[in-house]
Amino acid sequence: MDEVGAARSPKRRGITERLRWCTRGLLIAVLSQAGSVVLLAVTITTFATMVIGVGFLILPVVMVAVRGLANFHRRTALEWSGKAIDAPYRDTAGDGAYDTAGTFAQCRRLLADPATWRDVLWMLLDSVVGLVLGLLPAALVAYGLNGILVTPLLWESMGPHWGFGATWFITDQGDANLAIPQGFLLVLLGLLIAPPLGRLHLRFNRALLAPTRNARLTLRVEHLTETRSDAVESQAAELRRIERDLHDGAQARLVSLGMKLGLADTQLESNPALVRQLLADAMESSSQALTELRDLVRGIHPPVLAERGLDGAVRALAMALAIPVDVHIDLPRRPQAPIESAAYFVIAEALANVTKHSGANCASIRLWHADGTLRAQVGDNGRGGARAEGGSGLRGLQRRLAAFDGRIDISSPVGGPTLVTMELPCAW
């Protein structure tokens, strides 16, 4: 019985997936009319009223709606196909707050952005493409079900007529019963074409909503400029931290050590007891200074990372945590030293956040390499609610990874669980 259920399970999953694509098609069709058509009409009206000045006042607001609809389709592309569509906009002039004082400047930026006009073209074409590709599978399924369930039972109440679940003139029960096999064929056809038509609509969206080659280059330059600035700022902050730690820690203790040894030298013959106390204090100060210097070195490049590599260093971090940590690491070889160091510190900071903020009683670490990318996931079963802007160190992790064109994603709904995912380009 289990084997039969297992054999049928893929079929059930296939039917469920096709029904899901039919539902998605209905959503596409509705959005193509209630969204694209309405917004297109409003947008055209806005452009037309610019000659009297009214359009300039409402264009930024209209573009918030237009870009919101386009971004919704970009998000669904990621959810439905696993392939994201990047936003092509040069700035956020039409994405957020309305600024009356800068209305004309906003309009100028919006009208100069090619993505604005590509959005308008997309709405124009999607009013037809989205309706046809989205509605056709659902319409076939609905018409087929009508032929299976309704036509054989209710044809007499309507008298001889065309259609109503069939594609011929119905005059008797025999004609009505013929709608049943036709209905099954239509339902099957609708389920079969739903996924390819849905993916075809995704390709249509990608062709118009994704950045062009020039736009990608422009966005890439802006991203690199921002990340390099963050990297310089991060390195400057790190140097200031090292300077502060040396000044307030090891340097102060070494100065104190020198003063105690100098005082001991002057009291060597007159007060041997005081000399012994000063020497004991000096030994303690030297030990503390050595400990602080070791901690500082570990903060720059941990010895365990140099000795045991990223695999061993991450396992050492997990063993030092006060809660159980499930570790899965699959690395064919050691990454380059800068990548290795960045990944180590990101994982260490994520684990520190688990200890300090999450209230979790267990955590997990997964580290692997695939498709030229080093990936790491740190999860916990704590209270959740972690945000990069919350001051928990996650913003610092983003800056550290940005220097290597890496990225970090945080999934932390209130109530948990929390999952921090890191990606770093890493070619062996």
| pLDDT tens column, 333-363 | 888 888 888 888 888 888 888 888 778 888 9
Per-residue model confidence (pLDDT) at position 3: 44
Per-residue model confidence (pLDDT) at position 288: 74
pLDDT band at 228 (very low <50, low <70, confident <90, very high): low
**CA 278 to the chain's CA centroid:** 59
pLDDT tens-digit series, residues 120-155: 999 999 999 999 999 999 999 988 888 888 778 776
Three-state DSSP class for 85? Answer: coil
HSE-CB for 214 with a 13 A CA cutoff: 3
| 54-81 and 103-112 helices, crossing angle to 10° | 50
The CATH class that applies to domain 309-425 reads alpha beta
pLDDT band at 231 (very low <50, low <70, confident <90, very high): low
Enter the tokens of residue 93: 């002039």
Most confident of 98-102, 396-400, 422-426: 422-426
* Mean pLDDT score of the chain: 79
Burial group, residue 174, by CB count within 10 angstroms (0-12, 13-18, 19+): exposed
pLDDT band at 6 (very low <50, low <70, confident <90, very high): very low
Instruction: Report the distance separating Cα 73 and Cα 87, nearest Å.
Output: 11
Per-residue model confidence (pLDDT) at position 2: 46
The answer to whether residue 392 scores a pLDDT higher than 60 is no
**Do residues 344 and 311 make contact, with C-beta atoms less than 8 angstroms apart?**
no
pLDDT band at 194 (very low <50, low <70, confident <90, very high): very high
Per-residue model confidence (pLDDT) at position 82: 76
Per-residue model confidence (pLDDT) at position 300: 59
Per domain, the residue ranges of the chain are 9-209, 217-300, 309-425
Among the residue ranges 17-21, 175-179, 279-283, 292-296, the one predicted with the least confidence is 292-296
Determine which helix (DSSP H) or strand (DSSP E) holds 376, and give its type and residue range: strand 373-380
| 272-300 and 213-245 helices, crossing angle to 10° | 170
Look at 268 and 98; give whichever has higher pLDDT.
Answer: 268
pLDDT band at 97 (very low <50, low <70, confident <90, very high): very low
